[in-house]
Amino acid sequence: MKLDDRAKETFIVIDKQAIHPNSMELRMTGSLNGQGILKFGWSDSSYYRSDTINGDFNIYFERLDWYSDTCFFKFEPLSATNGDLKIECEIFSSRK
């Protein structure tokens, strides 16, 4: 996702439609010309984690306990006016 000077709050939803999800592998990488807040969670109103990001960033979670087939992401620019964000998300389940 590219961010530019029109960047406002951005929402991304990843739905893997997993049956009996149990864990998730997540990597969020990119760069910003200022600060922003990146959140992810089970719903668009309940976030599991929030990170303030600035410049080049690489956030990685390996086999994070996760019991939802959906992951909600929210980016809020603080002083950032441009940059890019890449999200790689794999939700694992006991059934396919």
Residue whose C-alpha is closest to residue 24's, from 1, 44, 49, 2: 49
Residue whose C-alpha is closest to residue 85's, from 50, 55, 46, 41: 55
Write down the mean pLDDT value for the chain: 90
Residue whose C-alpha is closest to residue 38's, from 66, 10, 68, 4: 10
d(CA 26, CA 58): 10
The CATH code of domain 2-95 reads: 2.60.120.260
Q: Has residue 96 got a pLDDT over 60? A: no
The answer to whether 91 touches 66, Cβ cutoff 8 Å, is yes
d(CA 39, CA 59): 11
The answer to whether 95 touches 22, Cβ cutoff 8 Å, is no
pLDDT tens digits, residue range 48-76?
Answer: 999 999 999 999 999 999 999 999 999 99
What is the reported pLDDT for 26? 96
What is the reported pLDDT for 60? 97
